[in-house]
Amino acid sequence: MKRFVQLGAFILVLCLAVPAFSMGLDEAKSRLDTAKQQGLVGETPTGYLEVVKADNDARGIVGAINKARREEYARIAQKHDIPVTQVETVAGQKALEKTPAGQYILVDGKWVKK
């Protein structure tokens, strides 16, 4: 279990350091905090972001970040010879735990302000 907790922390750190994509990951990350604070984007237990409130900018941010996360999860799963779904689950749990108060998380299929 300790290994999976460490792996989860490792995943989150790596997700923040992945090279640029589409709109530019650096740009997407800088806009992500704002989108989360505005309640446009939230974290899910699957390890990915989703749009909470429809907004074109939010969709672009979610797409760029999720693409980077998906690639990083696949790389980590291959490196540790574990299923990608296991990496996604650990990353999702960590993301939900680390989400600050006032931002949205998906709980039992419903958006909840933490």
With a cut of 50, say whether residue 110 has pLDDT above it. yes
pTM value is 0.76
Angle at 32 between CA 26 and CA 100, to 5 degrees: 125
Quick: pLDDT tens for 19-42.
Answer: 333 456 677 788 898 999 999 999
Domain of 28 in residue numbering reads as: 2-113
Nearest-angstrom CA–CA distance, 48 and 62: 8
Range 5-17 average pLDDT: 49
Instruction: Specify the number of domains making up the chain.
Output: 1
Residue-wise DSSP of 1-43:
-HHHHHHHHHHHHHHTTPPP-TT-HHHHHHHHHHHHHTTSEEE
